[in-house]
Amino acid sequence: MVQDGRVPAGDVSRRVGVEVIEARGVDSKLLVEKLIDAAGAEFTTYYYYTILRMYLAGHEDYKEICEDARLEDRAHFELITPRIYELGGSLPFDIRTFADRAGCPDAYLPNTNNGKLTIKPGEAVEVKPAQILEVLLEAERCAIRTWSEICDLTFGKDPRTYDLAARILNEEVEHEAWFIELLSKERDGVVRPSGHFRRGEPGEAPYSKNRGFYNP
């Protein structure tokens, strides 16, 4: 029997961590769905950035910054996933379902017919660095919108989710600034500094902490 909104001792069917945020006005089920969509976007972005980075051959400065963003997006997936389970949710058991509900569009390599192009060994894909940088930039902008929405939903109501989302958002804002700087110089010949400085090591993720994932 529940009295005064308290979960009885030993009851594992309910979560006080969910009840307290619902009492503050959070729709926990909606939040879980948005977190799953956001986690899906981070996971698929990590995958697509792996391919985009490969095709920045000969532009090692661009490739290094893309690698920072790629590994940090993986850190974002790792950071937010436990929160989904803490709120009583679960990732989809099928990776295809997970990818299909990602909250941001797939970051396809340009000139591959939305990823459907099949190439044979030795064949090349004609793609310019500026085209890749445009894809990277728009992916980061979608991430900023996604995590800003989650911050708005949880601010003052769910401190834990807000903290995690804000830490991710901090890095996504940095990523957008990096790719604005690079694309502006590469495509337009205009300098728009981002304030970027080299991470201590690739994918360090100063806000979401990713050091253990780096595998050169």
Could you give the C-alpha distances from 58 to 31, 61, 110, in angstroms and in order? Answer: 42, 9, 17
Q: How far apart are CA 138 and CA 27, in angstroms?
A: 29
Q: Is the pLDDT of residue 201 over 90?
A: no
Could you give the C-alpha distances from 67 to 37, 109, 202, 210, in angstroms and in order? Answer: 23, 15, 6, 12
What is the CB neighbour count within 10 angstroms for residue 182? 24
Q: 57 with 185: CB under 8 angstroms?
A: no
pLDDT tens string 20-61:
999 999 999 999 999 999 999 999 999 999 999 999 999 999
pLDDT tens string 126-157:
999 999 999 999 999 999 999 999 999 999 99
pLDDT at residue 122, rounded to an integer: 80
* 123 pLDDT tier (thresholds 50, 70, 90): confident
pLDDT at residue 119, rounded to an integer: 85
pLDDT at residue 109, rounded to an integer: 96
| Domains of the chain: residue spans and CATH | 23-108+121-211 (1.20.1260.10)
pLDDT at residue 5, rounded to an integer: 65
* 211 pLDDT tier (thresholds 50, 70, 90): low
Q: 208 with 80: CB under 8 angstroms?
A: no
What is the CB neighbour count within 10 angstroms for residue 24? 12
pLDDT at residue 11, rounded to an integer: 85
What's the rounded mean pLDDT across residues 160-176?
96
Whether the model pTM is above 0.85: yes
pLDDT at residue 1, rounded to an integer: 35
Dihedral Cα 119, 121, 124, 130, nearest 10 deg: 80
Q: Is the pLDDT of residue 177 over 90?
A: yes
Q: How far apart are CA 71 and CA 85, in angstroms?
A: 23
* 214 pLDDT tier (thresholds 50, 70, 90): very low
